[in-house]
Amino acid sequence: MRVFKFGGASVKDANGVKNVVKVLKEVGHNNTLLVVSAMGKTTNAMEDIVNAYFKDKSLLPSAVHEVIQYHDNILNDLFPNDKHPVFAKVKTLFDEIQGFLVWNKSPKYGFVYDQVVGYGELVSTTILSAYLNEIGIANQWLDVRTLIKTNDDYRDAIVNWEKTQQNVTEKVDKRKLNITQGFLGSDDNNFTTTLGREGSDYTAAILAYCLNAEEVTIWKDVPGVLNADPRYFEKTELLNNISYREAIELAFYGASVIHPKTLQPLQRKEIPLHVKSFINPKDKGTTVGKGIGIEPKVPCFIVKKNLVLMKLSSLDFSFIVEDSISELFKLLHDHQMKVDLIQNSAISFSVCVDNKFDKLDELLNLLKSRFKVVHHEGVSLYTIRHFNTEALTSLQNGKEILLEQRGKETVQLVVQ
């Protein structure tokens, strides 16, 4: 069985949905499981709904209406008859969102976030499944929340592999074309959980692992894995082949084309991962699998923006050693800071973090009681794998370097 993952860009409008059909017809769709993201920028729009719910409920009606209207436009483009059952199915899903926002009593942002945002995927797969059936491509729609079971760490849930394996074995018919959602799971109380932003790739890997799939293909609007993000770098090159190890390194440093958690389950069963273009589906793209290194071996550039660099030093010039570092990492963990880089000397400790849960101010107040703290917000972390002098010079020119760290294969620069 094969697992295909289609992201939001591939189903952002009616033409995108029709192009997915074109891809399936070109590469085949028997014995295939489709993992599909929310349409276009729907996840961002759903986040706007959650933010309005917590910050200004007067904005809720317009935020919800915007999402409904966006999907209604796609429905009307795909289904000329507005009496088609899919209209009622989609309306029911949006009614569920609005109902939840009325009866919910939980003050916890993470819980509300997961219950609301996950509907983006439920709606997109409902529309795609109905359209495929309409044009004669029979398929089975599956609610991924009945497959992937997790703990209740909302917004960043951890998979219960044993329960998930049992569910997938029982509920996925390998003989059919199956369609399900990325990004989502459910906890023991059957509340929706999410696997972290961009978690649909991870969903594909989880299901591939449980199905012993032959391969996973991530369909994107780029020709494969490039040596740099074309939004931020010029003259990018396609990487034809990457080993699991190298791909995990790139993902760890923040390469956005592959989710950091995606590769581990695939590596364990040596399931190859293909990253291909949904615009040119017959092109070879990039293959990630068992092997050595990267081909071609060129410098790979990665940038992570809007991070925070904190430089800590002891107030009494005492050494920052094991007990201090242990305490620091506990504070970072307790405040859900994703650590992207660390550097320490005898009396100082620098750390570059992602403040995605907006707990920086609380953390800084605690740190300032123990350390002298200088922090810089809005910094960018540049990483070059397989760097050379030319690549390093191209990044350094015209930038204020706040911190630099070099290894044998990798150099990292924090710039303002």
Count of beta carbons in the 10 Å neighbourhood of residue 219: 23
Between CA 200 and CA 190 the distance in angstroms is 19
Angle between helices 109-117 and 119-134 (to 10 degrees): 10
Sheet holding 348-354, edge to edge: 338-344, 348-354, 300-314, 371-385, 410-415, 401-406
Helix %, strand %, coil % of the chain (to 5): 40, 25, 35
Q: At 318, which amino acid appears?
A: S
Judge contact between 354 and 311, C-beta under 8 A: no
State yes or no: 231 annotated in a binding site: yes
Q: Is 121 annotated among the ligand-binding residues?
A: yes
Q: Write down the H helix ranges in 262-321.
A: 263-268
What stretch of H or E contains 109? helix 109-117
Helix/strand/coil for 285: coil
Query: Which amino acid is present at 54?
Result: F
The span from the CA of 286 to the CA of 295, in Å, is 10
Query: Running DSSP on this structure, what letter comes out for residue 281?
Result: T
Nearest to 157 by CA among 202, 122, 121, 214: 202
The secondary structure element, H or E, covering residue 334 is helix 322-334
Which residue, chain included where needed, has tokens 């740190």? Answer: 367
Whole-angstrom distance, CA of residue 118 vs CA of residue 203: 13
Q: How far is CA 290 from CA 37, 276, 297, 373, in A?
A: 27, 18, 16, 44
Neighbours of 377 (CB within 10 A): 12
d(CA 100, CA 93): 11
Please identify which residue in the block is written with the tokens 């009945």.
146
Binding-site annotation: residue ranges for substrate: 121
Binding-site annotation: residue ranges for ATP: 231
Binding-site annotation: residue ranges: 121, 231
